[in-house]
């Protein structure tokens, strides 16, 4: 990415505070050098991405290099949020990785149909979550070439 100040931002949409804490600890444990930010539901995610409401101040919501998306959240779930992100010409290039407890084939297929870049079942064991966070950081920020924002 051309803008290195924003390249290493991971934005996670997750309503469960315990899961947010586990991911935060796993990212720290994985020694990934980046900025992990959280929103609590799909509505908050879109406010962040579109700089609305509490995210309207300049610098308050840097563009993420990766979105981690939970499926089942209040107000607006992951399916609805993903649809809106991929339908928006300003946002559709941001990679979205679904990180969910669901392993249902219908959920997996539906998320890819909506434009998800990857689908990962949330690991139950902490060490496995650390490994997932390490691999995500390496892959999305050190391996692939991503297009510049439109």
- What are the tens digits of pLDDT across the range 53-97? 899 886 788 899 999 999 888 888 899 999 999 999 999 999 999
Partners of 9 in the β-ladder: 35
pLDDT range class, residue 4, cuts 50, 70, 90: very low
Distance CA 134, CA 32 (A): 6
Q: Taking all residues of the chain, what is their mean pLDDT, rounded to a whole number? A: 87
What is residue 7's predicted lDDT score, i.e. its pLDDT?
A: 56
For 59, the token pair is: 């610098």
Q: What percent of the chain is predicted at pLDDT more than 70?
A: 94
């Amino acid at each position: 990415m051309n803008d290195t100040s924003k390249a290493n931002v991971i934005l996670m949409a997750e309503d469960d505070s315990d899961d947010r804490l586990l991911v935060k600890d796993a990212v720290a444990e994985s020694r990934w050098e980046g900025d992990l930010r959280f929103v609590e539901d799909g509505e908050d995610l879109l406010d962040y991405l579109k700089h609305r409401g509490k995210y309207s101040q300049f610098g308050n919501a840097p563009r993420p290099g990766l979105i981690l998306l939970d499926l089942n959240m209040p107000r607006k779930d992951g399916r609805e949020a993903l649809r809106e992100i991929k339908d928006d010409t300003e946002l559709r290039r941001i990679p979205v990785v679904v990180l969910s407890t669901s392993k249902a084939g219908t959920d997996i297929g539906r998320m890819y149909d909506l434009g998800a870049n990857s689908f990962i079942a949330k690991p139950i064991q902490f060490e496995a979550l650390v490994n997932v966070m390490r691999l995500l950081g390496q892959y999305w920020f050190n391996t692939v070439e991503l297009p510049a924002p439109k």
